[in-house]
Amino acid sequence: MVQRVASHSLGDILGLEGGHYKIIVENSELILGGDIILKLDEIPLTNEDNLIKSWYNLQSLKSGDYLNITILRRGKIIEIHKMIP
């Protein structure tokens, strides 16, 4: 779940959207309503192993590489295909 997107970050380049609704859960603030990342380069983010694989894939990206990402935004599944600058 995307809570915030920093300017000029990879999330910003990909067009990800952060949340708008603040809630408090067990004394921790969460921001809801943002994109939910479902897949990174066809790796479904459904378990810890896949999350780790995706993290390593992101770390290995170089300028000119392409990243495919599947997100859930406002009830619709969206595919994003962008080149890393």
Q: What is the CATH number of domain 10-83?
A: 2.30.42
Task: Give the integer Cα–Cα distance in Å for 72 and 58.
Answer: 19
User: What are the tens digits of pLDDT across the range 43-52?
Assistant: 999 999 999 9
Task: Give the integer Cα–Cα distance in Å for 46 and 8.
Answer: 27
User: What are the tens digits of pLDDT across the range 5-30?
Assistant: 999 998 999 999 999 999 999 999 98
Domain ranges in the chain?
A: 10-83
b/e 50-81 (16+ beta carbons within 10 angstroms → b): eeeebeeeeeeeeeeeebebbbebeeeeeeee
